[in-house]
Amino acid sequence: MKKLQITTLNRILIFIFILIITSVKAQSLSELYEKVNPAIVVILTEQKELVSSGKMTQTVTSGGLGSGFMISDTQIVTAAHVVQVAEKVDVQFLDGEIIPAKVISAYATADVALLELIWPRKNAVTLKLADSDAVKVGESVFVVGAPYGLGHSLSSGYVSGIIRDKDDKNPFTNSEYIQTDAAINTGNSGGPMMNMKGEVIGVVSNILTQSGGFQGIGFASSSNITKELLFEKKIIWNGTDLIPLTGKVAQIFNLPQESGLLVQRVVKLSPFGVLGIEDGDVEMTLNGEKLIVGGDIILSINGVKFENTDESLVNIAKVMERKSENDPLEIVVFRAGKKVTLGRK
């Protein structure tokens, strides 16, 4: 009987201990949320899309939605796919203020981008990019963003894996993702994944899904790859959505060289758009992949011919690592069966 009483008492004590730990964690997370929430923003975009209706295809303007976070009074980090081909970008803050922004840099593979506000945010609250190499599987994390437009929503979970592929010299293919079970949905993209110190360890990117909704596996680009690409490499945003054409596919397009970059969409006021690069206006499916055709195919940039090799991509990256948007840029495209040179010398 005495042994049974002790066992029961132990169980009660363990239960109370768990309740206390859970309460402390919930309180800590609530306090962290209140602290970081003013630094989280909603990204509102406008971009061009092709809409097909029977035999008619037309270009329309559609709205987009994402999340982001402030790292200074003028700079915001978000996901590249949120803003890569956005004609217009507005940043909405917790108090409702909206400030226009422009894209400074973007990397599609790592899915990170840097925005600059047209004017500074007064009394800006900013977040710190932590050392993601210190992140461990099983660590508690939380995400704040705008899932389905519900701004400043919080979800929490654990780091369930780390996918590293950042040893390549080619910045266009470098990536490093932190996997999590914290709920991520449409609109969360670009928001911060944070540790329990309130530091950013990742930029929310995408989810694995069969239904379109969250199914327990989400990914965020690591803070270290974000720092490397956006603040060390500093490749300028080009404002285009590009698809490589190689092998037999390149032959179908009758390219004068082995490979090229098919322009899907281009932002008119982007560096490539200002040069006069044209995007496509017809949708087609090739080898099971949807393409927008009818636009330019990029053959070379500043004399560096596009080839589907790391060496070629590294050389193109060096060309794009420019100090100023006004530096000379010359692009050769394949347009209507002819080579056309665009740009200034």
Going by C-beta distance under 8 Å and a sequence separation of 6 or more, which residues neighbour residue 134? none
Taking the mean position of all CA atoms in its chain, how far away is CA 37?
A: 20
The answer to whether 81 is a known catalytic residue is: yes
The answer to whether 168 is a known catalytic residue is: no
Give the CB-side neighbour count of residue 215, counting CA atoms within 13 A: 7
Catalytic residue among 81, 156, 241, 300: 81
Catalytic residue among 111, 181, 279, 296: 111
Q: List phi, psi (to 5°) of 205.
A: -115, -65
Assigned token pair, 66:
């994402």
Q: List phi, psi (to 5°) of 186.
A: -50, 125
Question: What is the DSSP annotation of 123-173?
Answer: T-----B--GGG--TT-EEEEEE-GGG-TTEEEEEEEEEEEEE---S-TTT
Give the CB-side neighbour count of residue 341, counting CA atoms within 13 A: 7
Other CB atoms within 10 A of residue 16 CB:
10
Give, for 80, the enclosing helix (H) or strand (E).
helix 80-83
Sign of torsion over alpha carbons 76, 80, 82, 83: positive
Region of residue 200 (phi > 0: left; psi between -120 and 50: alpha; otherwise: beta):
beta
- First CA to last CA across the chain, in angstroms? 93
The answer to whether 111 is a known catalytic residue is: yes
Catalytic residue among 105, 132, 156, 189: 189
Buried b / exposed e over 283-322, threshold 16 CB at 10 Å, is: eeeeeeeebbbbbbbbbbbbebebbeeeebbbbbbebbeb
Sign of torsion over alpha carbons 150, 97, 32, 77: positive
Q: Which residues are catalytic?
A: 81, 111, 189
